[in-house]
Homo-oligomer: A and B are copies of this chain.
Amino acid sequence: MSVTSATSAKRGAYAKTPARKAQIVEAAASVFSTRGYNGGSLREIASQLDVGLTSLVHHFPSKTDLLEAVLVYADEKYIGEFDMIAHDSGMRAAVLDLVERNFGHPELLRLLAVLGTECSSPGYPGNQWFVDRYSRLREEYRARFEHDQAVGRIPARRDPAVLATMLIGLWDGVQLQWLIDPGVDMVATIGAFFDEIEASR
């Protein structure tokens, strides 16, 4: 069955495009988080939603288009109040608040972790998205740490760019340990990091 003829024959079925697109992205996030991007198939995503493959392909012509939508969806769950708390109360408060809220959706964290490692090879689908994501995160956190230094929360002699790379690494890595073994105490570990960088030494 050709995609084009199916599309024109059944256009009515695609009326509620934004809602359907959102459903597809959520189903894809669920499939990719358990099977990875490589292991997850468009067919499995379609069957989760009880729609045909043709409907899926109508909204997302390729698997990489769907990957990109899933990545944006997963990442946006992370932003929320973070910026506001970081500005008002500093990075320690913002990070620990987000860590607490994240406890409620490990599957989304696992999804970003699985896709981040799968896409880490240059030239792999999604690689550029992760290169840009981490580059943007490092710059955002650098600016936040610089602000914390300006208002006296963190001594100024530390390099805020190094603090940003350290925090992002520590957060990803301790979160992976926690995903593997929920007995790992993320709050205590990240709190101990802030104890270190807030000390005057």
Contacts and interface: CB of A to CB of B under 8 A. Distances in A.
Given A193-B166, A196-B197, A120 B131 contact: no
Main secondary structure of the interface of A (DSSP, over half): helix
A113 B121 contact: no
Contact of A174 (B165, B181, B192): B165
Interface string A184-199: 1100110011001101
A17 interface: no
Number of copies: 2
- Range of interface residues on A (Cβ < 8 Å): 35 or more
A127 to B, nearest CB: 7
A198 to B, nearest CB: 10
A39 interface: yes
